[in-house]
C-alpha cells in the first residue's frame, strides 16, 4: 500500500512538472498584414514607347513575419506576395498601356529592442518580380514582359505610443535593390525575332547599383481593435534601370488600407490551445 502511494505521488509530481514546463514554452505567432491600395503610376518602357505613361492602379498585398526560435526572439523570417493592375495613358491621350504585375519575396530580419518603445529591424530579402505591359497603339511589338530577381536590403523602424486605452504604432519601412538580374529585350526586336535569332541570353542583364536604382518606402500607423489591428499608410516607390542604353522607369505612389493580425497553426482534434505566445509585432 505504501509503495502504491509512493508511485502515485511520484507520478503526480512528474505530471505537474511536465505541465509547468509545457506551459512555460513559447510559441511563435505569425504576424500577417493584408493590404489593399489605390496607386498613381508613372512608367516608361522604351520597348513599347519612348513616351511617359501615367494613370491609376489597384494593389493587393500580403506579408508575414515570424521568429525562427521563440526562445531567442532575434531572427525572423519575412515573406511577401503582391499583385497590381494599372491603366496608364501618354500625355496626348493617344495610346494606353495596361500593366499587370506580381511580386514574391522571402528574407530574414534581425530585430533589436534596446531602445524603449522602439523596434528596429534590418536584413534583406530575395524577390521575383513579374510585369506584363500591353500598348494599345504599338502594332509590331504590342506586349512586353518584365522579369527580374533581386537581393534587396531592408530597414524597418517602429515606435510604440501607449495611450489610456490602446497602444498606437507608427512605422516606416525602406527597401532597395542591391544586386540581381533582369530580362530586357532590345527595343524594336520582336519576341518572334528574338526566338528565331537564338540571342535570348543577350536579353539577360546583370543588375546592381550602377545600372539599377530604386527605393520603396512605407509610412504607416496601426490602430488596434479587439481582435485585429487596422493599418493605414502611404507608399512611395521609385525604380529606374538601364538596359542596352535605354532607360526604363516605374514610379508608384499608393494609399494603403489593411488589417494586421497574429495567428498560429496546430494540428489534432485533442490538441490543447497554446497559452504562451510571442510575436514580432509585440
Interior/surface letters 222-235, b for 16+ CB within 10 angstroms, e for the rest:
beeeeeebebebeb
Residues (pLDDT < 50) of the chain are 1-2, 4-23
> Quick one: pLDDT at residue 14?
44
C-alpha neighbours within 13 Å on the C-beta side of residue 206: 1
> Quick one: pLDDT at residue 13?
43
For 30, 33, 127, 191, 192, the CA distances from 199, given in Å and listed in that order, are: 45, 42, 26, 11, 11
Q: What are phi and psi of 197, to 5 degrees?
A: -80, -10
> Quick one: pLDDT at residue 275?
65
> CATH number of the domain at 2-278, out of 2.60.320.10, 2.40.128.100, 1.10.3720.10, 1.20.59.20?
2.40.128.100
Is-above-0.85 flag for pTM? no
> What is the Cα–Cα distance from 59 to 80, expressed in whole angstroms?
13
209's CB contacts (< 8 A; 6+ apart) are: 178
> Quick one: pLDDT at residue 40?
97
CA-atom Rg of the chain in angstroms: 25
Record the cell numbers describing residue 275, joined without a space. 497559452
Domain boundaries, the chain: 2-278
Amino acid at each position: 500500500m505504501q509503495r502504491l502511494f509512493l508511485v502515485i505521488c511520484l507520478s503526480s509530481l512528474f505530471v505537474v512538472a511536465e505541465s509547468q514546463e509545457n506551459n512555460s514554452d513559447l510559441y511563435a505567432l505569425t504576424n500577417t498584414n493584408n493590404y489593399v491600395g489605390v496607386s498613381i503610376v508613372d512608367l516608361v518602357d522604351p520597348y513599347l514607347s519612348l513616351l511617359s505613361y501615367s494613370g491609376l492602379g489597384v494593389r493587393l498585398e500580403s506579408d508575414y513575419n515570424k521568429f525562427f526560435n521563440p526562445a531567442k526572439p532575434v531572427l525572423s523570417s519575412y515573406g511577401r506576395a503582391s499583385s497590381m493592375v494599372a491603366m496608364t495613358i501618354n500625355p496626348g491621350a493617344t495610346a494606353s498601356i495596361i500593366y499587370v504585375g506580381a511580386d514574391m519575396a522571402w528574407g530574414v530580419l534581425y530585430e533589436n529592442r534596446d531602445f524603449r518603445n522602439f523596434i528596429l529591424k534590418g536584413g534583406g530579402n530575395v524577390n521575383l518580380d513579374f510585369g506584363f505591359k500591353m500598348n494599345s497603339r504599338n502594332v509590331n511589338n504590342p506586349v512586353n514582359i518584365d522579369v527580374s530577381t533581386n537581393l534587396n536590403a531592408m530597414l524597418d523602424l517602429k515606435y510604440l505610443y501607449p495611450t489610456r486605452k490602446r497602444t498606437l504604432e507608427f512605422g516606416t519601412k525602406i527597401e532597395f535593390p542591391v544586386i540581381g538580374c533582369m530580362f530586357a529585350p532590345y527595343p524594336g526586336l520582336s519576341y518572334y525575332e528574338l526566338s528565331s535569332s537564338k540571342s535570348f541570353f543577350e536579353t539577360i542583364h546583370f543588375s546592381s547599383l550602377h545600372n539599377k536604382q530604386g527605393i520603396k518606402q512605407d509610412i504607416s500607423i496601426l490602430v488596434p481593435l479587439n481582435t485585429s489591428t487596422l493599418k493605414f499608410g502611404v507608399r512611395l516607390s521609385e525604380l529606374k534601370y538601364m538596359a542596352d542604353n535605354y532607360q526604363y522607369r516605374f514610379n508608384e505612389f499608393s494609399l494603403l488600407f489593411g488589417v494586421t493580425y497574429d495567428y498560429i497553426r496546430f494540428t489534432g482534434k485533442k490538441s490543447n490551445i497554446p497559452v504562451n505566445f510571442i510575436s514580432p509585432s509585440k
